[in-house]
């Protein structure tokens, strides 16, 4: 039994666990004043690595995969989708084969139930392409996607693309038929191209507000077109670098809290000290950018627990609202109906943490996966 404070109300709660599930909850009349909060484990649907380990790297041995999982669990992330960025076909297959072999372990399979493929079917233009390798950007191919899916063991959950690529609409239609979440990003699409993509089955916008030109038309642009379409959910990176406070609030208010997901978009460099790492640099502020073109960001340097605190700070959200954007909402998006909830019958993926309301920071103390303290 866990005795803590309910993240939704701040009131004492007893969480009783049986096996891998929450078996019962109770609300005692009195409890110690210094109890930590309890909440569902965080769910990150876009993470490229952490702590110097990059999922695209050919050096990702099983031990390194396990180390990355351990680092995420320590930050309160109990479920995540490893994200693989624009690469050659051979590069994708090699990386996804390593992932498939690792998730033969039941616990790792639970923590990493699917993958997010970001690219390679994105814009080749500077700006929209972001930090992705131009040489590997290309038009969609079902035949290639089948090879990628096979390498991943059928676990492709999200695929991010640019709707303006030749053949994108029939490709989107086929992936949607198969149950893959097709997401829009790294794009210079017109309003008509975005509408055609959504009509074909696209239903998500990856890191909305990023993966675009530094300067865009003030009235007609792909950001507004995605914001205005109620059929599209959106993810946002709450690190205060990828989107400023005003845009963060605009996305939340336009989409509503029921169509927004917080993601870290953590780079393999996330969690490291400020400094230059090859072609990337982490500034003292935490901004991660390309050395040669500082206006272009290269993912984030945060973990999702940090993003929860930043969301509270930037938008004045309650703690419960911010945590739900990083747990309940991504669970709904990817169809994990028994996760992201502090309810009887839900999987006991739970975190105990201290909350510093003055500084909007979480300090994770304990993490539970399927009822087991990890």
**What pLDDT is attached to residue 31?**
86
CB 17 within 8 A of CB 335: no
Contact residues for 355 (Cβ-Cβ < 8 A; gap 6+): 37, 319, 361, 362, 363
CB 371 within 8 A of CB 15: no
Domain locations in the chain? 41-339
CB 43 within 8 A of CB 75: no
Strand partners, 80: 44
* CATH number assigned to the domain with residue range 41-339, chosen from the 4 options 1.10.340.30, 3.20.20.140, 3.30.230.70, 3.40.50.720: 3.20.20.140
**What pLDDT is attached to residue 233?**
98
**What pLDDT is attached to residue 33?**
86
Rounded to a whole number of angstroms, the CA Rg of the chain reads 20
* H/E element, 365: strand 361-369
Q: What does the DSSP 8-state code read for residue 35?
A: P
| Short-list 348, 369, 370, CA closest to 22 | 348
Q: Which runs of consecutive H residues, i.e. helices, occur in the chain?
A: 62-74, 89-102, 106-111, 142-151, 168-177, 191-200, 222-228, 245-255, 304-315, 319-325, 328-334
Return the structure tokens found at 153. 């063991």
Cα-based angle 138, 186, 306 (whole degrees, multiple of 5): 130
**What pLDDT is attached to residue 116?**
98
Return the structure tokens found at 67. 């180390």
| Short-list 336, 330, 302, 348, CA closest to 71 | 302
Q: Which residues of the chain have pLDDT under 50?
A: none
Question: What pTM does this model have?
Answer: 0.98
**What pLDDT is attached to residue 30?**
84
Return the structure tokens found at 300. 């984030």
Tell me which residues are annotated as active site: 265
């Amino acid at each position: 039994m866990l005795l803590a404070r309910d993240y939704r109300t701040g009131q004492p709660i007893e969480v009783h666990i049986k096996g891998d599930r929450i078996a019962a909850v109770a609300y005692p009349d009195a409890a110690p004043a210094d109890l930590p909060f309890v909440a569902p484990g965080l769910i990150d649907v876009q993470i490229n690595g952490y702590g110097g380990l990059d999922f695209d790297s050919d050096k990702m041995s099983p031990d390194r995969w396990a180390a990355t999982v351990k680092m995420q669990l320590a930050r309160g992330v109990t479920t995540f989708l490893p994200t693989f960025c624009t690469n050659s076909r051979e590069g994708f297959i090699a990386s996804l084969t390593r992932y498939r072999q690792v998730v033969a372990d039941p616990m790792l399979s639970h923590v990493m139930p699917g993958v997010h493929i970001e690219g390679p079917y994105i814009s080749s233009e500077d700006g929209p392409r972001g930090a992705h390798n131009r040489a590997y950007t290309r038009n969609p191919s079902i035949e290639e996607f089948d090879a990628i899916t096979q390498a991943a063991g059928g676990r492709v959950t999200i695929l991010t693309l640019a709707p303006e690529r030749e053949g994108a609409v029939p490709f989107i239609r086929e992936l949607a038929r198969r149950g893959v979440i097709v997401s829009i990003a790294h794009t210079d699409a017109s309003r008509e191209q975005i509408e055609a993509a959504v009509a074909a089955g696209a239903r998500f916008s990856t890191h909305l507000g990023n993966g675009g030109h530094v300067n865009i038309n003030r009235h007609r642009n792909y950001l507004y077109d995605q914001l205005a379409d109620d059929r599209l959910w959106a993810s946002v990176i709450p690190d205060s670098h990828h989107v400023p406070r005003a845009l963060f609030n605009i996305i939340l208010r336009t989409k509503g809290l029921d169509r927004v997901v917080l993601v870290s978009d953590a780079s393999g460099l996330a969690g490291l000290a400020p400094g230059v790492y090859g072609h990337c640099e982490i500034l003292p502020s935490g901004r991660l950018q390309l050395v040669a073109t500082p206006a272009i960001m290269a993912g984030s340097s945060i973990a999702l627990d940090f993003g929860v605190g930043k969301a509270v700070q930037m938008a004045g959200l309650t703690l419960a609202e911010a945590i739900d954007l990083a747990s309940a909402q991504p669970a709904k998006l990817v169809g994990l109906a028994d996760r992201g909830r502090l309810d009887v019958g839900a999987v006991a993926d739970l975190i105990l943490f201290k909350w510093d309301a003055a500084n909007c920071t979480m300090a994770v103390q304990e993490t539970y996966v399927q009822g087991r303290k990890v």
